[in-house]
Chain A
Amino acid sequence: MPDHVQLDPAAEGAADVRIPDVSSGLIDRSIYADPALYRLELQRIFARAWNFMCHETQIPKAGDYFTTSIGEDQVIVVRGDDGEVRVLLNTCRHRGNALCRAELGNTRTFVCSYHGWTYGLDGRLIGIPGKADFYRNEIDQGAWGLAPAAKVDHYKGFYFATLDPQAPSLFDYLGDVGRVGIESMLNYGDVVALDGVQKNVIDCNWKIAVDNLFDWYHVKVSHNSASRVGFLNQAAMMPMTQMVMLGELGHAIGGPMVTREEQDKIDALSDGERIAIDRLPDAERAKVTPTLRRPLRSTGTKAAMGSLGVRATGHPNIFPNLWISSRGMQMSLRLPRGPGRTEIWWFTVMPKAFTAEQRRAAKKFLTHSFGPAGLLEQDDGENWSQSTLASHGVASRRYPHNMQMALGQDEVAVDPAGQKAIETRINEHAQRWTYRCWSEWLRARDWPELMATRSPSPTGRV
């Protein structure tokens, strides 16, 4: 069995790919269309990064599996008899056939439907039909197990995998900003994944779907109809005050915040009082809560998220493609399926401590916000696909996207613990940061080079 998936450090043809300079906030449209650039993204971003797989409660028992992908590599996430979660490339070592065609399930073995090569839950090749008769025992069975991901790890139950053995630890990869993102889902303690991952396909470049999660500028216009029919409370959703956190390697958080004054009032409440307030329906809650943002984070969460992080209530993105929604109950993957095609997956987690009524209310809000039928998300996809499409015209392509909002107009604040955040209005800092880091990932030939050349989290004027 190979130790891990072998990666080609000098990606094929990489030298010929033009990686546009995005530092000025002007974004060359080729990055949404160029097939060579897309191939490089698969090699230098997706195959190298820690990619989100699933939550531990999705595969609780031995033999439980969930299939997903790292870039365009299909993988099986499976819990072994030893309880360990492994990530295996979903391709038979004999002729490359997909071993597992189901999205989830429970099994004892993975049997290839082509010639019957059979693998255990740990990826070992445990059966070769005709091994004596046809191979005449001249095959090293131990060498032909399923290729495992280089590293698999979890942060508080959220599993990630990387195909690159040189990748830093998951903890270090996430850094402060990535960890703050995951902690935002753990305010009420342990969570459980709700059954059902919503999946749909949008004809757009994956990065347009990613940068949109930081974009609070589009809400008023794109989601105008959701406000008009009474679903979305723009005042609660869109305060003038916003906070942005920029983490190394491209992680970021952007969106509304709890102000310092509001946080002081939250700090004055006991955790029990905060829970009681959050249990109230929106209209009643609005009369007594220090902030309209949900949830009121606990003292423990504040300790975990930091004095600035606890006030960041926008959307975190764990680079490259894991969006954690601002209420801390949903995660969305933007999975590349070609330069002009993206699968959108929505995972939902809820605190085990939620009452049945809280769970029902939260589920209702989430079902009607996101997913292909979501009153919000319905109106996003076509914008993204038309922006992608307009990256192909030879004339349109000469005109870069403008992502310069608030460029050079804000200051990064640092708290005594060294945590950094920008307090501002609606802006495009997180989008610019995402693209800047994206270009650094593409330029670096391997992890050591990326670690040596990556931008530090900015300080001072941004």
Chain B
Amino acid sequence: MTMACVIGPALQYEVEQFLYREAALLDDRRFGEWLALMADDIHYWMPIRRTVTVENLRLEYADADGMAYFDDDRNDLRMRVEKLQSNSAWSENPPSRTRHFVSNVRILEAKGDEIALEAAIHLYRSRLNDKIDNWVGKRRDRLRRVEDGFRIFERHIFLDQTVVLSTNFSSIF
């Protein structure tokens, strides 16, 4: 039996600590342990965002059934992680140095053993000697409580860039 989730300071603290630990696993390159926090039914998605006029804001994000930057299930994430762990993913050998900042965490809903939250994120990537990427945006996560903490079963990433000003997305958000 897992504990029901009730919105309050205790849950807020627990969720924030979980998100910080998760971020640290990525920054410390403990990708296998990070993957273990993803539920089997994870949907990891980053839609295409676009510069549009006020009158056309309904077009700001590409349709959900259109193309995306990420549209991953757990097996896709497994491939990304194993790729990062191989020595022949040239975009990550030498490996990047990343720092994931997670803030403005708001628990939107807690129902049974599930939690929906939104957070602001800043992913800083330092690559080779002189390449810097700064990705800022919003993350909408859904967590499921399990015996030893949480599993993430939905991660939707809404970046604040439209044209991606980077060579690639070889990092995990």
- Please give the residue numbers on chain A whose beta carbons come within 8 Å of chain B beta carbons, in ascending order: 101-107, 194-203, 221-222, 224-226, 228-231, 343, 346, 348, 363-364, 366-368, 371-373, 375, 377-379, 381-383, 385
Does the CB pair A228–B71 fall under 8 Å?
no
The answer to the question of B99 belonging to the interface, with a C-beta cut-off of 8 Å to chain A, is: no
Q: Given that A105-B59, A201-B166, A203-B167 are contacting pairs, would A373 and B70 also be in contact in the complex, using a CB cutoff of 8 Å? A: yes
Residues of B55-100 contacting chain A, CB below 8 A: 55-56, 59, 62-63, 65-72, 76, 78-80, 82-83, 86, 88-91
The answer to the question of B163 belonging to the interface, with a C-beta cut-off of 8 Å to chain A, is: yes
Rounded to whole angstroms, the CA-CA distance of A102 and B66 in the bound complex is 19
What A residues does B68 contact at CB under 8 A? 196, 367
What B residues does A383 contact at CB under 8 A? 90
Does the CB pair A385–B59 fall under 8 Å?
no
Does the CB pair A229–B59 fall under 8 Å?
no
In the assembled complex, 22 residue pairs joining A and B whose CB atoms fall closer than 8 Å, in A order, are A102-B51, A102-B52, A102-B56, A103-B50, A105-B52, A107-B53, A195-B66, A195-B67, A196-B47, A198-B48, A200-B166, A200-B168, A203-B167, A221-B88, A225-B88, A230-B79, A348-B66, A367-B68, A371-B67, A375-B80, A378-B170, A381-B168
Q: Given that A106-B56, A229-B79, A346-B67 are contacting pairs, would A379 and B89 also be in contact in the complex, using a CB cutoff of 8 Å? A: yes
Rounded to whole angstroms, the CA-CA distance of A348 and B69 in the bound complex is 13
Query: Which single residue of chain B is at the shortest CB-CB distance from A221?
Result: B88
Does the CB pair A368–B76 fall under 8 Å?
yes
Does the CB pair A194–B67 fall under 8 Å?
yes
The answer to the question of B165 belonging to the interface, with a C-beta cut-off of 8 Å to chain A, is: yes
Rounded to whole angstroms, the CA-CA distance of A248 and B2 in the bound complex is 69
Q: Given that A104-B52, A228-B82 are contacting pairs, would A195 and B63 also be in contact in the complex, using a CB cutoff of 8 Å? A: yes
- Interface 1/0s, chain B 134-173, versus A by CB < 8 A? 0000000000000000000000000000111111111000
Query: Which single residue of chain B is at the shortest CB-CB distance from A370?
Result: B67
| The one of B53, B65, B69, B86 that contacts A373, using a Cβ cutoff of 8 Å | B69
Query: Which single residue of chain A is at the shortest CB-CB distance from B46?
Result: A373
Does the CB pair A231–B79 fall under 8 Å?
yes
Does the CB pair A225–B164 fall under 8 Å?
no
Does the CB pair A372–B46 fall under 8 Å?
no
Q: Given that A195-B62, A228-B86 are contacting pairs, would A104 and B166 also be in contact in the complex, using a CB cutoff of 8 Å? A: no
| The one of A364, A378, A382 that contacts B169, using a Cβ cutoff of 8 Å | A378
Rounded to whole angstroms, the CA-CA distance of A237 and B169 in the bound complex is 23
